[in-house]
Amino acid sequence: MPILYNDSTREFHLQTPKTSYIFSILENDQLGHLYYGKKLRHRQSFDRLFHVGESPNTACVNEGDLVFSLDLIKQEYPAYGTTDFREPAYQILQESGSRVTHFVYRDHQIYQGKKKLKGLPATYAENEDEATTLEISLADEKTGVEIRLLYTVFEELNAIARSAEFINHGQSEVNLARALSASIDLPGSDFEMVQLSGSWARERHVKERKLVPGIQSIASTRGTSSAQQNPFLALKRPNTTEHQGEVYGFSLVYSGNFLAQVEVDHYDVTRLMIGINPFDFNWLLKSKESFQTPEVVMVYSEEGLNGMSQTYHRLYRTRLARGKWRDRERPVLINNWEATYFNFNDKKILELAKASKELGVELFVLDDGWFGKRDDDTTSLGDWSVDRRKLPNGITRLAKDINELGLEFGLWFEPEMVSKASELYKAHPEWVIHVPDRSMSHGRNQFVLDFSRQEVVDFIHGLMADVLRDAPISYVKWDMNRYMTEIGSLDLPANRQREVAHRYILGVYSLYERLTNEFPDVLFESCAGGGSRFDPGLLHYAPQGWTSDDTDAVERLKIQYGTSMVYPTSSMGAHVSAVPNHQVGRVTSLETRANVAYFGAFGYELDVTMMTEEEKEEVKQQIRFYKANRTLIQQGQFYRIESPFAEEGNITSWMVVSEDQAEAILGYYQVLSRPNPGFTRIFFQGLNPEFEYAIEGLEGTFYGDELMNAGLQLNRYRVNGHPADFSSIIYKLEQV
């Protein structure tokens, strides 16, 4: 049984084959945390894991007793206001002004499967026996509020999903000033915090720091999960590497403002909490209303960071992403953005499409600039009807022409935005997120539509659905190119203005939900000025996302390496683009650009009509290689081997291995060429030690144990016979 409850000790034991998560109902009927980590044998009582010492100088709950203090107790979903002085998981502001609550255990139920979270993306079980759920109900008598804590154990996938629901059964309204998804207190603070941080064009770089007493956190206040911080945080032991050692991962299935915080207290207890950012958040909960927090997915691994990542990859690829495209091979696409930017017409597009088809491309994506009068980024967002100056025969005709060339057709939208120079803004200036009587900041000359309003979402839905119904469109790129400012909605009263950012995200999810249901054959790719909203929330609807606007092969090593910490290769849009690279000006070989982009949802983003015959031949071969191996790449087990974030960081390597271990592909990348480099070995990962492998291009065969333990000695590798910067090798292994 993945979830056990012991009536006499009042303990819960959640278990997967490799993990135990244990907590109990305390003597005051609150919940206390006992253990999270490597699997423990189940026993009658884990009481001895409950540590509470006499503290000479702290506040205690019961008069006459100097022991029972929440200051000293590890908790499950803590509150502030009595004897715990750390930051809490939630805070409820009551009509009286009081913030003190006392939530005690009321009852619980354990059932097979997993319920949907209303209005929110979440992991799911396809069959009931894949997951077991525990729902614990806590009640606060004075307010009449109930907190329902949800825990779902994915036994085979070694993960636990948590969230909380607040239900107001009382007569009075209350305000949720803070409602995080989960909190956990771990004994000791000998951890390093791993986070994925960056900015536009350098998203999700791996950063690590040692924990110190006090609060350390990452957060977003930008209205999206953001390029600056990803809604993910891991705690690893100092000696944990990619391949061994303990790590705890916490990944929030949410696309808006979030907080992931670690507080190390005076007894070296590490409290981690994650959820909607309480900063600038408040939710008015009227009588009979409920509020559901997003879900956090917790993964414990003692097989290093790779072990944690592989769990996320499997869970997110198969039980977070959904729809027809979830398990399908993703098409090799070409996107016209870096080839033409706004400057195209139907002739140019058809030329590009024709040349791409000859190279083996399967899907043509028409990016920004096809609608309204959009010759630059100052106009037309919101006017989702075709620009006949550029495309005189319309989108439907163009899509059909492209189909006739033998390609699928995909289209770009930026549904959440409006330009001032647009019909939509003229008709509905009140539909923009803003605060009356204050100036409105812009980002890329555009403004954010108020998706907290149902009518706005309905209106945009109507426009998009019309286009998708009329034209044979099999792919949608859903972009979002600015962060939110002056967050306010004309549709909500003063005391609900702090709900806008979250309501906006719920609006985005609801539009995704409708469109993906109505157009189940369409492959959605999420995007936000590159990877500014690359998160598990959107992965639920869009099984792939544009990883970054930075398409430089060297920069992509860091971006894709960091992204793979949580997200599967199948989710990472990765394109070969032109050189000099448009973001950093670097010139890398066509070979290296493809060798990096192979490890994602592969495509091209350059003017293929300008290529030499030799380059075209090379591209044809690249596409043949990718098509022959894409199931392995998109669905295989991914291993990071050498990190671009290592001290020198000159070498990156990674590989994918098929489930049956009969096939693998390794990518090895060197940034700068080194003089007289001596011996270099690559240590493969994840092979079967017993299997004998042939490596394409190398003589003889190799056993898995040799490749993993003794490594493969690299010849000095060269580009066109010479040592070179930005060089790379791909090794394809096959069991003989």
Catalytic site residues?
479, 549
The token pair that represents 615 in the structure block: 């380059």
Rounded CA-CA distance 492/495 in Å is 8
Cβ distance to ligand DGJ smaller for residue 344 or 546: 546
Q: What's the burial of 299, exposed, middle or buried (CB within 10 Å: 0-12/13-18/19+)? A: buried
Name the residue with the smallest CB distance to ligand DGJ: 368
Percent helix / strand / coil, the chain, rounded to 5: 20, 35, 45
Helix ranges restricted to H, 485-569? 500-518, 536-539, 553-563
User: Can you tell me which of 368, 383, 450, 525 binds ligand DGJ, judged by CB under 6 A?
Assistant: 368
Q: Which CB atom, from 295 or from 549, has the smaller least distance to ligand DGJ?
A: 549
Using the contact rule CB under 6 A, the part of the chain among 12-20, 34-42, 524-532, 657-665 near ligand DGJ is 524-532
Nearer to ligand DGJ, 418 or 671 (CB): 418
Contacts of 488 (CB under 8 A, 6+ apart): 433, 434, 435, 436, 497, 500
Q: How far apart are CA 440 and CA 420, in angstroms?
A: 11
Which residues in the 229-248 window bind ligand DGJ by CB under 6 A? none
- Asked if 412 interacts with ligand DGJ (CB under 6 A), we say yes
Shortest distance, position 252 Cβ to ligand DGJ, whole Å: 23
Report helix, strand or coil for 420.
coil
For position 527 contacting ligand DGJ by CB under 6 A, the verdict is: yes
Residue 610, amino acid = M
Nearer Cβ to ligand DGJ, position 368 or 552?
368
If binding is defined by CB under 6 A, does position 547 make contact with ligand DGJ? Answer: no
* Residues whose CB is less than 8 angstroms from the CB of residue 487 and which lie 6 or more positions away in sequence, other chains included: 223, 280, 433, 435, 497, 500, 501
Please tell me whether residue 458 adopts helix, strand or coil conformation: helix
Distance of CA 113 to the CA centre of its chain: 23
Q: Is the dihedral of CA 377, 380, 386, 392 positive or negative?
A: negative
Q: How many residues in the shown chain lie near ligand DGJ by CB under 6 A?
A: 11
Residue 61 or 542 with smaller CB distance to ligand DGJ: 542
* Binding residue (CB under 6 A) for ligand DGJ from 479, 550, 552, 663: 479
- Any contact of residue 529 with ligand DGJ (CB under 6 A)? yes
Q: How far is the CB of 549 from ligand DGJ (least distance, A)?
A: 5
The least CB distance from residue 348 to ligand DGJ, in Å, is: 17
Please check whether residue 382 is in contact with residue 414, taking contact to mean a CB–CB distance below 8 angstroms.
no
| Contact characters 335-364, ligand DGJ, x per CB under 6 A | --x---------------------------
The residue among 227 and 273 lying less far from ligand DGJ, judged by its C-beta, is: 227
Other Cβ atoms less than 10 A from the Cβ of 185: the count is 23
Q: Judged by CB under 6 A, which stretch of 240-248, 522-530, 556-564, 703-711 contacts ligand DGJ? A: 522-530
State which of residues 481, 634, 643, 652 lies at the interface with ligand DGJ (CB under 6 A): 481
- Helix (H/G/I), strand (E/B), else coil: 679: coil
CB of 341 to ligand DGJ, least distance (A): 8
Q: Which is nearer to ligand DGJ, 195 or 532 (by Cβ)?
A: 532
In one-letter notation, the amino acid at residue 12 is: F
Shortest distance, position 573 Cβ to ligand DGJ, whole Å: 9
Binds ligand DGJ by CB under 6 A, chosen from 84, 367, 408, 552? 367
> Which of the stretches 209-217, 451-459, 527-535, 589-597 binds ligand DGJ when contact is defined by CB under 6 A?
527-535
Query: Angle 664-204-652 (CA atoms, 0-180°, nearest 5)?
Result: 40
* SS3 at position 222: coil
Burial label, 549 (beta-carbon count in 10 A; 0-12, 13-18, 19+): buried
**Burial class (CB within 10 angstroms; exposed 0-12, middle 13-18, buried 19+) of 265:** middle
Nearer to ligand DGJ, 473 or 687 (CB): 473
Q: Give the interface segment with ligand DGJ, choosing from 25-33, 86-94, 254-262, 525-533 (CB under 6 A).
A: 525-533
Determine, following the binding rule CB under 6 A, whether residue 480 of this chain makes contact with ligand DGJ: no
Which positions touch ligand DGJ (CB under 6 A)? 337, 367-368, 412, 479, 481, 527, 529-530, 546, 549
